[in-house]
């Protein structure tokens, strides 16, 4: 299968002003991706280069960036955990988190909220990643034994050269009645293009991202590889496009505290209600839940 489709971006990435990458809206794959696809997309994670890299926002590493956004991330994680608890039919929760990061923030959050993490597992290619509490960390998905009733893929599919292959392996690890939760950046939306018209680099073009999804492309990808059932409407996160159109000054792609979210919300009450509640395809990322029946 040869990838082909219209070119939607050619230019530098936010991390590298000298780089020139090409992104196509691939008609074969059904989503936009870098062209040609890098052969060793995962190498930067297994070699430990990714999590120590300087970030554009000035944070020293990926985890520092997470900490800067702690208030916002905590709010989102609380919503994600509540949704998974609602959708995963069997109890207790046995969760597999693919792409835990160097510091397994999601697992730590679940532990803070009273989950025992017993029988839980995480997967992170970086050899420095360590487990947390009862949850063991593996550096290879194939090394994970058994099945789970919840699998989370937070900001992973945009980084891998073969997202369909990863989803197929996740399907094999998911029990009937279980839930797969996927969140990816929502990229190249009409409003984003309008808000950041002609800007190079486009603020969502990252040198670590191979794929560029939106809700339709994500749904298509997941439902094509296995008989998953989509079990809710997509949930969108912070409407960064609206903030940009209104010239709100944000230091990154997300608000750095709840006050920053509220400031925007007070100006646009409907957005305050709809942000993180599922609405029009506006928002920096999109989260979807799929069931295995
Ligand atoms: Zn393709």
What pLDDT shows up at residue 148? Answer: 96
* Separation of alpha carbons 185 and 193, rounded Å: 14
Which domains does the chain show, CATH number per domain?
A: 7-292 (3.40.50.150)
How close is the Cα of 158 to the center of ligand 1, in Å?
13
What pLDDT shows up at residue 269? Answer: 40
Q: What residues are neighbours of ligand 1 (ion), with CB under 5 Å?
A: 3, 26, 28-29
* Separation of alpha carbons 263 and 290, rounded Å: 33
List pLDDT tens digits, range 210-239: 999 999 999 999 999 888 887 777 777 777
What pLDDT shows up at residue 270? Answer: 42
Retrieve residue 155's tokens.
Answer: 């900001």
How close is the Cα of 219 to the center of ligand 1, in Å?
16
Cα→Cα distances 181→86, 155, 276, Å: 12, 11, 15
List pLDDT tens digits, range 105-147: 999 999 999 999 999 999 999 988 888 999 999 999 999 999 9
* Separation of alpha carbons 285 and 239, rounded Å: 9
What pLDDT shows up at residue 115? Answer: 93
What pLDDT shows up at residue 180? Answer: 96
Question: 55 vs 184, which has greater pLDDT?
Answer: 184
How close is the Cα of 122 to the center of ligand 1, in Å?
28
Tell me the pLDDT band of 277, cut-offs 50, 70 and 90: very low
3-class DSSP assignment, residue 138? strand
Residue 272 has pLDDT above 50, yes or no: no
Lookup result for tokens 């800007």: 199
The residues, ordered by sequence, that sit 6+ positions from 84 with a Cβ below 8 Å of its Cβ are: 93, 95, 150, 152, 179, 181, 289
What pLDDT shows up at residue 288? Answer: 92
* Strand 121-123 with 95-98, pairing: parallel
3-class DSSP assignment, residue 267? helix
Tell me the pLDDT band of 268, cut-offs 50, 70 and 90: very low
How close is the Cα of 6 to the center of ligand 1, in Å?
11
How close is the Cα of 187 to the center of ligand 1, in Å?
16
* Separation of alpha carbons 65 and 54, rounded Å: 10
List pLDDT tens digits, range 14-73: 888 899 999 999 999 999 999 999 888 888 888 887 776 544 444 556 677 777 778 878
How close is the Cα of 9 to the center of ligand 1, in Å?
15
Lookup result for tokens 């916002």: 72
Per the prediction, the chain carries an average pLDDT of 84
What pLDDT shows up at residue 37? Answer: 93
How close is the Cα of 287 to the center of ligand 1, in Å?
22
* Separation of alpha carbons 212 and 187, rounded Å: 6
How close is the Cα of 27 to the center of ligand 1, in Å?
7
Cα→Cα distances 252→58, 100, 185, Å: 10, 22, 14
How close is the Cα of 29 to the center of ligand 1, in Å?
4
What pLDDT shows up at residue 170? Answer: 96
How close is the Cα of 2 to the center of ligand 1, in Å?
7
Question: 188 vs 48, which has greater pLDDT?
Answer: 188
Count of CB atoms situated within 10 Å of the CB of 281 = 14
How close is the Cα of 231 to the center of ligand 1, in Å?
27
What pLDDT shows up at residue 237? Answer: 76
The DSSP element (H or E) to which 289 belongs, if any, is strand 285-292
Question: 70 vs 174, which has greater pLDDT?
Answer: 174
């Amino acid at each position: 299968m040869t990838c082909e489709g219209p070119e939607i971006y050619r230019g530098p990435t936010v991390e590298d002003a000298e780089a020139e990458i090409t992104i196509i809206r691939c008609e074969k794959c059904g989503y936009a991706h870098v062209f040609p696809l890098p052969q060793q997309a995962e190498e930067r994670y297994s070699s430990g280069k990714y999590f120590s890299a300087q970030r554009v926002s000035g944070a020293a590493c990926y985890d520092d960036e997470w900490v800067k956004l702690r208030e916002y991330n905590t709010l989102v994680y609380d919503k994600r955990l509540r949704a998974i608890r609602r959708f995963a039919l069997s109890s207790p929760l046995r969760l597999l988190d693919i792409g835990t990061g160097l510091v397994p923030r999601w697992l730590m959050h679940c532990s803070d909220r009273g989950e025992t993490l017993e029988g839980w597992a995480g997967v992170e290619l970086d050899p420095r990643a360590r487990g947390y509490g009862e949850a063991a960390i593996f550096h290879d998905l194939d090394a994970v034994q058994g099945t789970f009733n919840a699998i989370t893929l937070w900001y992973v599919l945009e980084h891998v050269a073969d997202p369909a292959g990863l989803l197929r392996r996740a399907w094999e690890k998911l029990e009937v009645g279980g839930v797969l939760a996927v969140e990816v950046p929502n990229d190249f939306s009409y409003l984003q293009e309008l808000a950041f018209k002609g800007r190079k680099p486009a603020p969502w073009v990252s040198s670590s991202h191979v794929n560029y999804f939106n809700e339709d492309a994500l749904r298509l990808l997941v439902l094509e590889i296995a008989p998953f059932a989509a079990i809710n409407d997509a949930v969108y996160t912070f409407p960064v496009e609206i903030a940009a159109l209104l010239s709100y000054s944000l230091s990154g792609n997300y608000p750095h505290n709840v006050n920053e979210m509220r400031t925007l919300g007070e100006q646009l009450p409907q957005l305050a209600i709809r942000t993180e509640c599922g609405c029009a395809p506006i928002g920096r990322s999109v989260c979807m839940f799929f069931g295995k029946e």
